[in-house]
Amino acid sequence: MIFRPGLEGVPVTQSAICDIDGLKGELTYRGYPLADLASNSNFLETAFLLIWGELPDPKQLREFEHQVQMHRRVSFRVRDMMKCFPASGHPMDALQSSAASLGLFYSRRAIDDPQYIYDAVVRLIAKIPTMVAAFQLIRKGQDPIQPKDNLAYSDNFLYMLTEREPDPLAARIFDRCLILHAEHSLNASTFSARVTASTLTDPYAVVASAVGTLAGPLHGGANEDVLAMLEEIGSPECAVPYLNKAIAEKRKIMGFGHREYRVKDPRASILQSLAEELFARFGKDEMYDVAKALEEAAEARLGPKGIYPNVDFYSGLVYRKLGIPRDLFTPVFAISRVAGWLAHWREQLGANRIFRPSQIYTGSKPRDWSNPESRTPSKEN
């Protein structure tokens, strides 16, 4: 048996959802180039494509948008539950708990019924942004505000979060960010979603397990750490010394590196251009020059190892300009990635076999139980 840490290079499923060419830096959703979707599609249309495999016709799109709009509200019980969460808690933990709680409210589990699947997809895509925005207001001591029916999906999220209707350019850029983050094949959180789905549990548990996995700093949580790192560097001329010191101390540069890519992540390139578009309109973030200096310095030192900026490197600068607090960067990632998780949930149900990998046992040989009095303290105690 060959053990591959982190399952590197081990196919664990067959999937028709997303394809990555890590050498060319190309990414497609259901065969459509990501750049094409990010320029021309919107998040709900892209989510439909990912989950059902084809772009919706106008009637399907109208119906999907309408259903999502109708289900944006969350029960006062969920809001009351969220009011009991500690305000100092991380919003990803709040989101994981709230997403899981939906299973209590929609407990019918009919995963072979297409209508049940459609309804669950609608509910999760509709309610997750509402729950993210609600926790933001609740932790500030305010009551969450209700979704506004005349606002499109992304405009409405920014409205619920900031309590003002967003500038149309800002809302469009945010929507494009959601498209960019919606799916990325068998990353850790999606694998987690598929493992959970394979037990035939409910979709709320599937999403909650994926949210918990996305939260880690080696995965979605890196976008928060990138801004902290840029601020620690402070100015463009400090980028080279910072990089040299980090490499000498074997510390990772946050927002760099990816198991799948040996070139710059195509999403990082698009996010960088979105950041520039925002800065041109609303003023530059001074950390942008630091980021560019770090990228340039890292190309010489890490490029030869195939380590380049990943999706998290520029997303924080975009989100900060949109007025999104730093610890909501990863929940915003989750708002988008729920589309990918649900696409994988459906695909897993279509050809399910429960995940149950094997292990290579490295523990003790069989031994006999002994009386406590006769035991000597083990080294770890």
Nearer to ligand ACO, 102 or 271 (CB): 271
Q: Which residue minimizes CB distance to ligand ACO?
A: 257
Instruction: Return d(Cα 352, Cα 164) in angstroms, integer.
Output: 44
Q: Which stretch binds ligand ACO (CB under 6 A): 34-42, 196-204, 289-297, 305-313?
A: 305-313
Size of the site for ligand ACO (CB under 6 A): 20
Q: Is 310 in the site for ligand ACO (CB under 6 A)?
A: yes
User: Long-range contacts: 59-67, Cβ < 8 Å, 24+?
Assistant: 64/122, 65/153, 67/118, 67/122, 67/126
CB of 6 to ligand ACO, least distance (A): 5
Nearer to ligand ACO, 156 or 213 (CB): 213
CB of 9 to ligand ACO, least distance (A): 10
Q: CA-based angle 95:99:102, to the nearest 5?
A: 145
Instruction: Return d(Cα 256, Cα 295) in angstroms, integer.
Output: 9
258 is catalytic: yes
266: which 2 tokens?
């195509």
Q: Is 194 in the site for ligand ACO (CB under 6 A)?
A: no
Q: Is 335 in the site for ligand ACO (CB under 6 A)?
A: no
Of 95, 253, 294, 318, the one binding ligand ACO by CB under 6 A: 253
Q: Is 256 in the site for ligand ACO (CB under 6 A)?
A: yes
* Annotated catalytic residue within 175, 184, 312, 344: 312
Give yes or no for a contact between 144 and 133, defined as CB atoms under 8 angstroms apart: yes
Handedness of CA 142, 146, 150, 154 (dihedral sign): positive
Contacts of 254 (CB under 8 A, 6+ apart): 217, 222, 225, 226, 228, 229, 312
SS3 of residue 207 by DSSP? helix
- Restricted to residues 257-276, the positions that interact with ligand ACO (CB under 6 A) are 257-259
Q: Which stretch binds ligand ACO (CB under 6 A): 74-82, 99-107, 165-173, 309-317?
A: 309-317
- DSSP letter string over 317-337? HHHHHTT--GGGHHHHHHHHH
202 is catalytic: no
179: which 2 tokens?
């498209």
Nearer to ligand ACO, 250 or 356 (CB): 250
Q: Is 220 in the site for ligand ACO (CB under 6 A)?
A: yes
- HSE at residue 127, side-chain half, CA atoms within 13 A, is 25
Nearer to ligand ACO, 133 or 302 (CB): 302
* Annotated catalytic residue within 175, 258, 265, 285: 258
CB of 118 to ligand ACO, least distance (A): 28
Give yes or no for a contact between 13 and 186, defined as CB atoms under 8 angstroms apart: yes
Chain residues binding ligand ACO by CB under 6 A are 6, 187, 218-220, 222, 252-259, 302, 305, 307, 310-312
- Residues annotated as catalytic are 258, 312
